[in-house]
Every structure is written in structure tokens, then in C-alpha cells.
Amino acid sequence: MVCEAKTGYICNFRMYCGVGSRLQDTILNLLKPYCNLWHHIYMDNYYNSVATCEILLQNSFRTFGTIRVNRGLPSCLKNPKLAREESIFHRRQNILLQCWQSKRTVRMISTIHSADIAESNNIDWATKQRILKPMCVIDYNKYMKGVDRADQYLSYYSIVRHTKKWTKRAVMFFINCALFNAFRVFKILNPHSKKKYKVFLHDVAKEWISEALPGNTGNPLPRTSTTSSKSDPPGRLSKDPKRHKLVQITTGGTKLKSQRQCRVCAAQKKKFNVLYV
């Protein structure tokens, strides 16, 4: 998934099916619409490697992220013995490989940063001094939040439901992503709005199920008769589902007696009984 760093807006994503192209081909496919624009891409250690950084640099992308030991690190950076807040780096042309010792050893790869150390916003509770960190770590903590923010919002009030067909679950996930993107666009276009994500989803749902038609301000007349009318109401058989109000058939009898032949199916010479008209 490719997300904008600050808002989490989902720019592009691809579903992983367990088989297919190589990881580098998948990354290039996701970033293809943004080639030759010199965007800065922040990735986690699953995607990063020295070979991937070289390929992305050839396609006008500058990258940064954490990296695993077996992804092209030189031997001097695989198991370095460093003191607390000490760092060591190795550079090959535009590619910087750096290790920094915090509570654990953090290995990084970057085509954006230098190996400079700067003060962060974090304060050491023992010394009351600002903690020194490499510039790449400070920027990583600042910008590597887009995908996390998108996943966080997608987990709120998700419309995805359990189903036996994976295609239905995939479509519901697409709709969920579209709703989140719509909310981010709404917040950007309305910076003073205090509407929360839950209220936004509720408003969208009410709009989708609304029975109001353009130019129609009145409510539909209540159904007073339990017998089937000879003529359908306007728009009954139209393709617009908003023009058809479902009314349950009630005859006071059993469930089978409350069913009637579907007129749409009858017109196509098919037999199908329904509980609603």
C-alpha cells in the first residue's frame, strides 16, 4: 500500500495473493504512476534492500527505511558492537547504510539523508537532556505514519464482514478504502470542520439509503391495502433502487400464504415467490 505521509490518503495498493511477481516488481508496479518525480519513499524492512534502493534510484525515487541483515548489508554493519546512542555508517555513492544503537541496534538504508546526528523531541528522563538521534531516524518517525494511519482508520467501523467468498470481502475492503479517502479529502477541503470519521460515515450511509428523489420533497404515501395492486407505482421496475420502497406482504396467515409471485420474474416467465412488493 502506498499512502501519503501526513494524511494517510491511500494513493495505490495491490492485493497479495501468495504468488506472482517478485517483490521488486511489485514495488515498481505500485510506484509506476509516480516515476521521474523524485518523491521520497519511506518503507519498512520487509521491502527494503540495497538492490531495491538502486532500482528505485534509477527510476527517480529517493528512499529510506529500516533494513534486515540479509538484504545486502556489509559485514561491518551486520553485528556491530556499539555503545548507547553511538552510530556507525558505510556509504556507497548515493546509498547510505547506518547502524544506530538505542535499546536495540537499528539498521537503516537511505538515499535521502547524511549520517548527521541531531537532537530529537524525546527527553532522557535520567539526564533531562534531549536524546541525540540520526537525522534519518527523526524523519522516519515523522513520515513513516501514513500506512499506519490508514490502517488505523480502516479498522474503525469497518464494513468488511465474514463471508465464504473472498471476492466479496475484497470488494468491501475497496469500499472501505474509498470511504477513508473521501473522509481525508473532505477534511482537506473543509479545514475548519470538526466532523469525526464516525459521523462522516453515518452521513454517507444515510445518503446512500435515502429515499428522497431530486425534486421530490414529499414522503411516499403509506400503503393501506394488503392486496396487490394491478398497476405498479412509478419507478417500481426502474433500475434506480431508490424509487422502489419495499413493503412486506401481510395477510395474517402463514409465511407461505404471505408470499406472492414476483412480477419481474413473471415477466421473464420465471417462477419466484417473494415476501416483499
The reply to whether 170 and 130 lie within a common domain is no
pLDDT band at 180 (very low <50, low <70, confident <90, very high): very high
DSSP states of the chain as a string? -EE-TTT--EEE-----S-SS-HHHHHHHHHGGGTTS-EEEEE-TTT--HHHHHHHHHTTEEEEEE--TTTT--GGGTS----TT-EEEEEETTEEEEEEESSSEEEEEESS--S-EEEEEEE-TTT-SEEEEEHHHHHHHHHTTHHHHHHHHHHTT------S-HHHHHHHHHHHHHHHHHHHHHHHH-TT----HHHHHHHHHHHHT---BTTB-SPPPPP--SSPPSSPPTTTTSS-GGG----B---SS-TTTT-EE-HHHHHTT---EESB-
Residues 122 and 165 grouped into a single domain: no
Distance CA 139, CA 42 (A): 9
Q: Do residues 170 and 192 make contact, with C-beta atoms less than 8 angstroms apart?
A: no
Of 42, 63, 36, give the one whose Cα is nearest residue 149. Answer: 42
Q: Report percent pLDDT > 90 for the chain.
A: 28
Summary mean pLDDT of the chain? 82
As a whole number of angstroms, the distance between CA 270 and CA 267 comes to 7
**Higher per-residue pLDDT: 219 or 194:** 194
Question: According to the model, what pLDDT value does residue 255 have?
Answer: 53
**Does the pLDDT value for residue 251 go beyond 70?**
no
pLDDT per residue over 74-90, tens digit each?
Answer: 888 888 888 888 889 99
Q: What is the pLDDT of residue 172?
A: 92
- In this structure, are 184 and 55 located in the same domain? no
Res 54: pLDDT: 92
Q: Does 137 lie in the same domain as 166?
A: no
Residue 212 lies in a domain: no
In a domain, 78, yes or no: yes
The range of the structural domain enclosing residue 248 comes to 241-274
Q: Are 177 and 116 found together in one domain?
A: no
Q: Are residues 120 and 171 in the same domain?
A: no
Q: pLDDT (tens digit, 9 = 90+) per residue, 143-168?
A: 888 888 898 899 888 888 888 888 89
Q: pLDDT (tens digit, 9 = 90+) per residue, 121-134? A: 888 777 778 888 88
19-78: per-residue pLDDT in tens?
777 888 888 989 999 988 999 999 988 888 999 999 999 999 999 999 998 888 888 888
When divided into structural domains, the chain yields a total of 3
pLDDT of residue 85: 81
As a whole number, mean pLDDT of residues 84-108 equals 88
Residue 182 placed within a domain: yes
Based on the fold, state whether residues 42 and 170 are members of the same structural domain: no
Please tell me whether residues 180 and 66 are part of one structural domain.
Answer: no
